[in-house]
Amino acid sequence: MSLLTIGTVAFDTVETPFGRAEKIIGGACTYISYAASYFTNEINLSAIVGKDFPEDEIASLRKRGVNLEGLEIKEDGLTFFWEGKYHMNMNSRDTITTDLNVLEDFNPVLPESYKSSKYVMLGNLTPDIQKRVLDQLDGSQELIAMDTMNFWMDIAMDTLKDVIARVDVLTINDEEARQLSGEYSLVKAASKIFEMGPKYLVIKKGEHGALLFYKDQIFFAPALPLAEVFDPTGAGDTFAGGMLGYLAKTRDTSFDNMKRAIIYGSAMASFCVEEFGISKLKQLTKEEIDQRVGQFSSLVHYTMH
Amino acid sequence: MSLLTIGTVAFDTVETPFGRAEKIIGGACTYISYAASYFTNEINLSAIVGKDFPEDEIASLRKRGVNLEGLEIKEDGLTFFWEGKYHMNMNSRDTITTDLNVLEDFNPVLPESYKSSKYVMLGNLTPDIQKRVLDQLDGSQELIAMDTMNFWMDIAMDTLKDVIARVDVLTINDEEARQLSGEYSLVKAASKIFEMGPKYLVIKKGEHGALLFYKDQIFFAPALPLAEVFDPTGAGDTFAGGMLGYLAKTRDTSFDNMKRAIIYGSAMASFCVEEFGISKLKQLTKEEIDQRVGQFSSLVHYTMH
């Protein structure tokens, strides 16, 4: 089933304790789309890049089955650029540079064929843009998910809450859930956030896994402990892309299927962090993904007798 | 089966974002013993307190079936006192005061009946004291576990490594595992730590759960998301006490049974943090514990089809 993916397509420079990568391909929408492409080939991408964005990278996305009709290439602008540095605790990072470039003029106009996409993943962007995307949908959507971050809670909480009120799934990290709800306990935070609109709340905790809240039920998916973690950039977006891709493939938004979607999302994220940027996400096989999903199962498996 | 518990018995003053408790009963050995007492009534406690330690608290431990022959009451000294403050991120805390008091003279002499305890939990203490305890055991032990902390890695690494070489299970947190091994990846850290001696490594991550490493296998136990978290003090010790209590009860040190032990430990820890100090640990029922263990099972349960 069709999946609309919206967000940044970017150049990233990333430094971690294990190395540095200069001006590699990044951006939430890139990670979301690559991850989802292993589950559905009806991906409608909406994003903006500058004239400096490499043609072979566009070809590479197209090869993964991504529909690029909604990719705006601004001939007089440069692609969004982000530079970040991770410290030994790779759950936190410093932003060194943010050059918005063409992103400043991003005003997504959805191609007609996108408007009936049945699944939607709104990557982290200004709430105002996310809202304008929702306004263009035809109302036939089966599930809409969004990502956001603390920055928008600081400067645009009202608009952000308008967007949150209109989605089915909100994906944020634990500190953001606390900030958004004003509650320390994630259980209480989830109750407050449900009052804002979403049916599902996914709390991403990086190397500590993810929590899925639904009504008064909770599901926990661990992160796979890995021998090599090179670069956490894009892991949250890859998680979301795997999750939405799986949902679009299976067309089942029940709690039980959301659990499976989150396991697939976690598996995709575990690949993402093993190399810099999107390199690993370009070349996975179904067998590798299935094998890794199996590792998640044994990681938490026990019997009480 | 008999379980030897060693560590501090203390007064704690604790401040969290949710309240403050003055001079309540604390200490690693206290938490370990209470938690274990729900699984075995053959607990041999070894600790030291001052003349100021309340008699009714001693009676309360005895009522839980704890053998106090090894509790030294120093008539001319005061009980160890610790004061700490937790911030909004309750995974970290500041120590405000540490008055060692009688702990400075703690030189545990094990009663004869303690020396053949089949299970041993060495709470966090100077590695030198932990070593002296091991020297007194009769060699008939089925499993010896120890806890320690970064402080001893900073100032007494050599002695600490001597102790680690002699135990079966090491319980530390993720940052300590990284410091001890010099490896960022917990998978690599576990390999290095296995070379130091232990067969099992338990990495405690507080509200993010716990990892059990054994050979090249990994088991992950989540922490239960709770509506109320008042005081994380003692959660790690309660976890260890529940784990060792369960092992002493079941007398099975296989990987499969260690997994169950860790689920029981996690369940006990989840009770611990719901109230200040040991109050909740004094009054649990078997039904409450079994019910909570069931919640852990549903928290991670999913099917792939």
CB pair distance less than 8 Å for B186 and A225: yes
CB pair distance less than 8 Å for B219 and A302: yes
**pTM score, whole prediction:** 0.95
Distances in Å between the Cα of B239 and the Cα atoms of A113, A125, B1, B122, B261 are: 55, 41, 19, 13, 9
Q: Does B182 touch chain A (CB under 8 A)?
A: no
Which residues of chain A lie closer than 8 angstroms to B227, CB-CB? 185, 187-188
Which residues of chain A lie closer than 8 angstroms to B221, CB-CB? 300
Q: By the 8 A CB rule, do B148 and B79 touch? A: no
The residue among A24, A51, A50, A45 whose CA lies nearest residue A102 is A50
Which residues of chain B lie closer than 8 angstroms to A304, CB-CB? 260, 263, 293, 297
Report pLDDT for A140: 98
Q: pLDDT tens for residues B187-217? A: 999 999 999 999 999 999 999 999 999 999 9
CB pair distance less than 8 Å for A260 and B304: yes
Which residues of chain A lie closer than 8 angstroms to B202, CB-CB? none
Residues shown for chain A: 305
> At residue A158, does pLDDT exceed 90?
yes
Enumerate residue ranges in chain B where pLDDT < 70. none
Domain ranges of chain B: 3-300
Q: pLDDT tens for residues B74-126? A: 999 999 999 999 987 777 789 999 999 999 999 999 999 999 999 999 999 99
In the structure encoding, which two tokens stand for residue B138, read together?
């009769």
CB pair distance less than 8 Å for A187 and B299: no
Report pLDDT for A256: 98
Beta strand A93-99 with A81-86: parallel, antiparallel or unpaired?
Answer: antiparallel
How would you write chain A as a 3-class SS string?
CCEEEECCCEEEEEEECCEEEEEEEECHHHHHHHHHCCCCCCEEEEEEEECCCCHHHHHHHHHCCEEEEEEEEECCCCCCEEEEEECCCCCCEEEEEEECHHHHHCCCCCCHHHCCCCEEEECCCCHHHHHHHHHHCCCCCCEEEEECCHHHHHHCHHHHHHHHCCCCEEEEEHHHHHHHHCCCCHHHHHHHHHHHCCCEEEEECHHHCEEEEECCEEEEECCCCCCCCCCCCCHHHHHHHHHHHHHHHHCCCCHHHHHHHHHHHHHHHHHHCCCCCCCHHHCCCHHHHHHHHHHHHHHHCCCCC
CATH C-level class of A3-300: alpha beta
Report pLDDT for B130: 98
Average pLDDT (A61-90) is 94
Could you give the ipTM of this predicted complex? Answer: 0.92
Q: Does B225 touch chain A (CB under 8 A)?
A: yes
Cα nearest neighbour of B90 on chain A: A184
Across the interface, of B17, B187, B260, the residue whose CB is closest to A184 is B17
CB pair distance less than 8 Å for B300 and A188: no
CB pairs A-B closer than 8 Å: 90
Report pLDDT for A18: 87
Across the interface, of A90, A184, A302, the residue whose CB is closest to B260 is A302
